[in-house]
A and B are shown apart, each in its own frame.
Chain A
Amino acid sequence: EVQLVESGGGLVQPGGSLRLSCAASGFTFSDHYMDWVRQAPGKGLEWVARTRNRARSYTTEYAASVKGRFTISRDDSRNSLYLQMNSLKTEDTAVYFCARGSHYGDGYHTMDVWGQGTTVTVSS
């Protein structure tokens, strides 16, 4: 069974740091791009970051709202995805989902499998 399980969420003060993890199973993790997507309380979905696979040199992309503060990374040997979040702001409060990227022959990647999410609360 294809599965993504996030962990690492919690309560952190503004300006603090947190590291999220996503454990993947049931598929060849190293083949896939991987994403982080977040959802603030009562709001819609916001894409946060993407890491490409080894074939694409693990290059990364970020939303403007997190660029310079968040770092996406992966460890293919552990089938794991990470999000290092620094200089956290109250507006970063959200459920953070990891998602598997997939393409369908044209090289453009969307997401097809999602984890259940982990909650990050930034508050003093």
Chain B
Amino acid sequence: DIQMTQSPSSLSASVGDRVTITCRASQGIGNHLAWFQQKPGKAPKSLIYAASSLQSGVPSQFSGSGSGTDFTLTISSLQPEDFATYYCQHYNEYPLTFGGGTKVEIK
């Protein structure tokens, strides 16, 4: 199985900060990498697919990059509604697996 390792597991940041979350796959997955946002008690929301493509309706402060084994999610200017947990997921083969999550908290 492909293991997805996210870092950091949590971070504290202020509104307006630039935030970067990394995700590493245990083997190459091309660009078959998605990012999801989840707020407490809510369903995950799809942000990015194919490593760098923004889902429709997702604000432009979110961006993704990477290919192969190393990927990043960047929030260019953190907004109050962006405080949440973020998960990466590969969909290159079965089983699909998620990273452990990165909780973004208010400093």
Which A residues lie at the B interface, using CB under 8 A?
A: 35, 37, 44-47, 50, 61, 63-64, 97, 102, 104, 106, 108-117
Contact = CB atoms under 8 A, between A and B. Distances in A.
B53 A44 contact: no
A114 B89 contact: no
B44 A114 contact: yes
Contact of A113 (B46, B49, B94): B46
A45 B98 contact: yes
Contact of A104 (B36, B53, B89, B96): B53
Interface in B4-56: 32, 34, 36, 38, 42-46, 49-50, 53, 55
Bin chain B's interface residue count.
Answer: 20 to 34
Contacts of B42: 116
Nearest to A105: B50
A106 B46 CA distance: 18
Contacts, number: 60
B71 interface: no
Interface of B: 1, 32, 34, 36, 38, 42-46, 49-50, 53, 55, 87, 89, 91-92, 94-101
Chain A interface, DSSP helix/strand/loop, else mixed:
strand
A112 B46 contact: yes
B91 A108 contact: yes
Given A110-B34, A116-B43, A61 B95 contact: yes
A44 B87 contact: yes
A109 B92 CA distance: 8
A52 B87 CA distance: 24
